[in-house]
Structures are given as structure tokens and as C-alpha cells.
Structure 1
Amino acid sequence: MRIDPLKAVAATLIKTVLRPTVTGLENVPKEGGFVVASNHLSFFDSVIIQALMPRKVSFFAKAEYFTTPGIKGRFMKAFFTGVGSIPVQRGEQAASVAALDQLVEILDKGDGVGIYPEGTRSRDGLLYRGRTGVGWLALTTGVPVVPVGLIGTDKLQPAGSNRIRLHRFTMHIGEPLHFDHPGAKHPLPMRRKVTDEIVDAIAELSGQERAAGYNQSPSVE
């Protein structure tokens, strides 16, 4: 298995500078498609997961990360391309039908994808109710879902701040969850049930207090 050199560099920097605690790497499937479902506390969460996972995990990423000019822009494009990020235009819904279909294509090739059931990052530290895109992916493809609980990544760049701080964090990787595989034509209650089970597993790993409703991005509050 070829490891992208920028991914390896990022992993080394994260391990050396931030000294994270990472558990459960053995729970990542050795082969075949899989979904990583994680809580979301920081801008850096996707970078952390992509750098530290033993296999490539494709997340959606802002299109600007691929089009920024200059040396910084070239580095960003090379990194996000190397780890398998998928450019998405600002304002597009990552949980839209077209976007989910794109993730299915990656899973069908036997690769990994990442998704945040909450939809957007939590700015108050609570774990919000999951949107059902992750349940749809699990039931449609039949691939295992690997829950991830991140702790302390919000300290790297607190909500509302542009300052980056060096802070240790923890990443717990849970055992894969397996669900029935009825395909894309399945009842919404089944999708809701699977999504709730996935978020319950994330909660056990992250230890977060639960919020009753859905999270909303600041732009729609």
C-alpha cells in the first residue's frame, strides 16, 4: 500500500509536535470500503484523521484549498489531493444526493470515506443529533462504519479564533459497526435508527454531552 509522502510528513509533524493519544488503529479494516464517522470539533479534524489513519480516508474539503495561489496554495493542493480530499464549492451541501453518490463511488472502489454525522462542527462542545446521510451510506453500500471520537481538537483553534494553539488531543477509533444491506431503497426509519446507533457509538468514544437537536452552521443561525 503506497503512502502519500505529504500524508506521512503531516502524520510525523502531528505526532511529534502535538503528541496525540491514538487508540484503536487496529479497528480500521485492512481492505475494502469503509466509512469513518466522527464527531466534529475543529477545522483540523479532517486533516488529523486523514494523516493518522493507516488507510486513505476521503473527506469533502473547500474548493479554495485546491485553488489558493502561491507556495502555500500549491502545498495545500498537493496535501489535500494526496490524502484523497474531495473539493466542494462553498455553500454546497456535503450531504446532498450528488455528494453521497460521489462517496458511494469511492466506497465501491474499496477505499475509505469520512463523514461528520453532525453536519458541521460543534462550537459549544456538545454532540448533536446525526443527519441521516451516514445511515444512508451504510445501508446503501453495506460497508462497515468505523466510529471515531475526537477529544481536545477544539483547543487547537477555539471557535471564533484565528489563532492556532499547540495542544494535545485524543483520537479513539471504535470497533467497526455492521448493518443490514438493503440497498438504496430502504425505509427512512431504518436510516434514522442506523444513524442514531452510529452517533451513540461516537458518544461513547468522545464522552461528550448530547444535544437534543441538530447542529446549525453560524451562517444559518
Structure 2
Amino acid sequence: MADLVYPPVIGAALTVFRALDVRIKIVGAEHIPATGGAVLVSNHISYLDFLFAGLGAVRGGKRKTRFMAKDDVFKHGVSGPLMRGMKHIPVDRTDGQPAYDAAVRALRAGEVVGVFPEATISRSFMLKKFKTGAARMAADSGTPLLPVILWGTQQLWTKGRPKTLTKRHVPVTIMIGEPIELAPGDKPVMVTRRLRAAMSEMLDRAQREYPGSPSGPEDTWWLPVHLGGTAPTLEVAEAEDEVEATAKAERRAAKEQGR
């Protein structure tokens, strides 16, 4: 079936990025496989990451990525039809097996499936703990892992910041690493450690080579502490995530009781 929604969505996103003069640099485009399934694994620092990671695959190898995303996004009146039209995969966080099975089927059919192994946006802008789902999907489908690092996207639209999408002239790095092939018998936990180590090295490189810098003392929020910024540490960010998760669970429980 033809992709009727994916191209115009990417085109619309590029129009917005051009209007904001977002300066996109793609590194490692040659690592995008021309054909066959692959699990694209990206860090997560912005609400726009699926667009940029997907753009890297489109420009690098004319591949369309089917991202796994929480099902709430598919229920939204505007984003829902677009997500379904782009054939992304909804994930019910109370029962993720159907989404996992759908992802494996897509991989076996030769699709690129996108995964954020940190599950949620990293407030520290550093790598959080990885879940093993990407490694398990790669093993079950016989496909490689494709590591992707994004840097700069957090300046555009991220958790805890105004949702204005007005910052201009932001450099964005999309770095694509060498595919990681799995051998028979590889344990998902060990593969995930290897994947995270590779992505950590890529993130360090992306940060070192990044051409942007804060415009002033009030613009250091998007830099991690070790780079002289004022973003929360991993430990503080993890505590904030736990508070938010508890509050969401309480709201869901209250909503269920009110039905």
C-alpha cells in the first residue's frame, strides 16, 4: 500500500524547520540499510525526535520509519489520524505485547521500526537506562539495531519548557551509527549494554562537535551539567520522572473511579 501520509508530513515538518532556520546536519547516512528490516534506536530529548530521527532515515536511505509511540498520541484528534496514516505503532503501556508483536511483524516484512529505549524524554539530556525491547525485537526478527543520536532538538521543544516552537537558527545533529548485528544466542541484556555504550560514545562526539552554544546565562538550560549547563543531573531528573509518573497514575485511577 502506498504511503500517502508520510511524505506530506515530512514535507510540512521541513517547511517549518526551514522557516525557523533549523540547521540540520546528518552524519553517517551511509549506515542506513537500503533494504530489509532494522530497529532504529534513538535517544529521546525532545517531542520532535521522531521527526528528526525519521528524517535521518528518509534522507539517508529513503527509508520510512514506523515509530512505536504511546497510544495516547493516536487518540488525539489531530495527531491520531496522522500517526495511523504514517503506519506508526501504538503502544498500550499497560499491555505492550500487541505492539511488540506488530513491530516484529513489520521488521520481518522489511520495515524500519523506530524505538526510544529510554521510553520517555530525558530531562538531563543524557542517556537514561535502556529497556531491552529493541534488542529483543532485533533478535526475534533477525534484523540489526541501528543506533541514532540526536542533539540540539531539545532547544526546539522539550519537556518542562514553553511549547512555543519559536527558537530560530538552532543547529540539529542527526548522527547515525554502524548497524549492530546480533549473533544467535546473544542475551538481550548484554546486547542492550553494547547498544547503550555505542550510543554514549556517539552522544559524546555529537556534543563535542556541536556548533551551537548558549546565547547567554539564561540560555544554559539545554546543556547538561558536565558541559557547563543547568539541566538537571540524571539523578534529579529520575526523581522528577518518578514524581510525574506517580501523579499520572493517580489521575488515571481517579478517572477510572469516576466512570
Q: Tell me which interval the TM-score lies in, with the shorter structure as reference length.
A: 0.7 to 0.9
**1:49 match:** 53
Measured at CA, do residues 6 and 129 of structure 1 come closer, stay the same or move farther in structure 2, by a change above 3 Å?
Answer: same
The alpha carbon displacement at 1:130 in A equals 1.1
The alpha carbon displacement at 1:211 in A equals 5.3
Note if contact 2:10-2:51 (Cα within 8 Å) is conserved in structure 1: no
**1:105 match:** 105
TM-score (norm 2): 0.69
**2:68 match:** 60
Identical columns (%): 29
TM alignment of 1:131-142, pairs within 5 A: 131-142=131-142
Q: SS of the residue aligned with 1:46?
A: helix
Note if contact 1:149-1:171 (Cα within 8 Å) is conserved in structure 2: yes
The alpha carbon displacement at 1:47 in A equals 1.8
Matched, 1:36 2:44: no
Flag the structure with larger Rg. 2
Measured at CA, do residues 130 and 62 of structure 1 come closer, stay the same or move farther in structure 2, by a change above 3 Å?
Answer: closer
The alpha carbon displacement at 1:107 in A equals 0.4
Matched, 1:9 2:11: yes
State the alpha-carbon separation in 2 of the partners of residues 136 and 68 from structure 1: 29
Which stretch of structure 1 is more off in the superposition, 193-202 or 159-168?
A: 159-168
**2:220 match:** none
TM-score (norm 1): 0.80
Letter in 1 for 2:122: S
Measured at CA, do residues 7 and 46 of structure 1 come closer, stay the same or move farther in structure 2, by a change above 3 Å?
Answer: same
Matched, 1:84 2:79: no
TM alignment of 1:201-212, pairs within 5 A: 201-207=198-204
State the alpha-carbon separation in 1 of the partners of residues 156 and 94 from structure 2: 26
Letter in 1 for 2:194: E
**1:192 match:** 189
Letter in 1 for 2:102: Q
Note if contact 2:45-2:125 (Cα within 8 Å) is conserved in structure 1: yes
Letter in 1 for 2:25: T
Q: Which has the higher contact order (CA 8 A, sep 6+)?
A: 1
The alpha carbon displacement at 1:11 in A equals 5.5
State the alpha-carbon separation in 2 of the partners of residues 137 and 81 from structure 1: 21
Letter in 1 for 2:64: K
State the alpha-carbon separation in 2 of the partners of residues 82 and 53 from structure 1: 18
Measured at CA, do residues 104 and 39 of structure 1 come closer, stay the same or move farther in structure 2, by a change above 3 Å?
Answer: same
CA RMSD of aligned residues (A): 2.9
**1:176 match:** 179
State the alpha-carbon separation in 2 of the partners of residues 120 and 157 from structure 1: 14
Note if contact 1:51-1:83 (Cα within 8 Å) is conserved in structure 2: no
State the alpha-carbon separation in 1 of the partners of residues 82 and 54 from structure 2: 10
Note if contact 1:36-1:113 (Cα within 8 Å) is conserved in structure 2: yes
Q: SS of the residue aligned with 1:61?
A: strand
The number of aligned residues is 206
The alpha carbon displacement at 1:129 in A equals 2.0
Unaligned runs of 5+ in 1: none
Which stretch of structure 1 is more off in the superposition, 54-63 or 142-151?
A: 54-63
**1:163 match:** 164
**1:22 match:** 26
**2:210 match:** none
Deviations 1:78-117 (A, max 9, x none): 543343312345xx258x3332111101101110101111
**1:219 match:** 245
Q: SS of the residue aligned with 1:147?
A: strand
